[in-house]
A and B are shown apart, each in its own frame.
Chain A
Amino acid sequence: MQLVLQNISHRYGGTTVLEDISFTVDDGEIVCIVGPSGCGKSTLLRIAGGLEQPGAGAALISGAPPEGSLNPLTYIFQDFALLPWRTVEDNVSLVLEDHGIERRERRSIIADVLARTNLADFAKALPRQLSGGMRQRVAIARALAVKPAIMLMDEPLSALDSQTRELLMDDLIALWSRERFSACYVTHNLNEAVRLGRRIVVLSRRPGRIREVVEIDMPLTERAARLGELETLQRRVWEIMREEAREADREISDVA
Chain B
Amino acid sequence: MSHETTVPETARADAVGTRDEATLRPVPFRGGGFVHRPLGPVAPIVFLAILALWEIGSRSGFISQIALPAPSEAFGALVDLATSGMLWKHVGASLYRLFVGWTLGSLLGIAVGLAVGLFSLARAGLLPLVSALFPVPKIALLPLFIIWFGIGEGSKVATILFGTFFPTVIATYAGVDNVDRNLIRMGQSFGLSWLSIVRKIIVPGAMPAILSGFRISASIAIVLLVAAEMIGAEFGIGAYILMAGALFALDQLIAGVALLSVLGLCISWLIGKAEKRLLSWRA
Give the B-binding residues of A (Cβ under 8 A). 49, 51, 70-71, 73-75, 77, 79, 81, 83-86, 94-95, 97-98, 126, 128, 142, 146, 152
Tell me, yes or no, whether B18 is within 8 Å of chain A by CB: no
The residue of chain B having its C-beta at the shortest distance from the C-beta of A99 within the complex is B191
The residue of chain B having its C-beta at the shortest distance from the C-beta of A87 within the complex is B281
Give the A-binding residues of B (Cβ under 8 A). 182-183, 185-193, 196, 200-201, 204, 207, 279, 281-283
The residue of chain B having its C-beta at the shortest distance from the C-beta of A143 within the complex is B190
Taking the nearest CB of chain B, how far is it from the CB of A201, in angstroms? 21
Q: Bound complex: CA of A97 vs CA of B185, how far in Å?
A: 17
Whether the pair B189, A51 counts as a contact (CB closer than 8 A) is yes
Contacts of A81 in B (CB 8 A): 182-183, 185-186
**By DSSP majority rule, is chain B's interface helix, strand, loop, or mixed?**
helix
Whether the pair B196, A126 counts as a contact (CB closer than 8 A) is no
The residue of chain B having its C-beta at the shortest distance from the C-beta of A148 within the complex is B190
The residue of chain A having its C-beta at the shortest distance from the C-beta of B186 within the complex is A81
13 example contacts (A-B, Cβ-Cβ < 8 A) are as follows A51-B185, A73-B189, A74-B190, A75-B186, A75-B190, A77-B185, A84-B282, A85-B204, A85-B279, A94-B200, A98-B193, A128-B282, A146-B190
Q: Bound complex: CA of A128 vs CA of B280, how far in Å?
A: 11
The residue of chain B having its C-beta at the shortest distance from the C-beta of A49 within the complex is B189
Known: A94-B200, A126-B281. A83 touches B192 (CB 8 A): no
Whether the pair A71, B191 counts as a contact (CB closer than 8 A) is yes
Contacts of B193 in A (CB 8 A): 98
Q: Bound complex: CA of A146 vs CA of B282, how far in Å?
A: 28
Contacts of A83 in B (CB 8 A): 183, 200-201, 204
Q: Bound complex: CA of A94 vs CA of B192, how far in Å?
A: 9
Known A-B contacts: A74-B189, A75-B189, A98-B196. Give 10 more (CB < 8 A): A49-B189, A71-B190, A77-B182, A77-B185, A81-B183, A81-B186, A94-B190, A95-B190, A126-B281, A142-B190
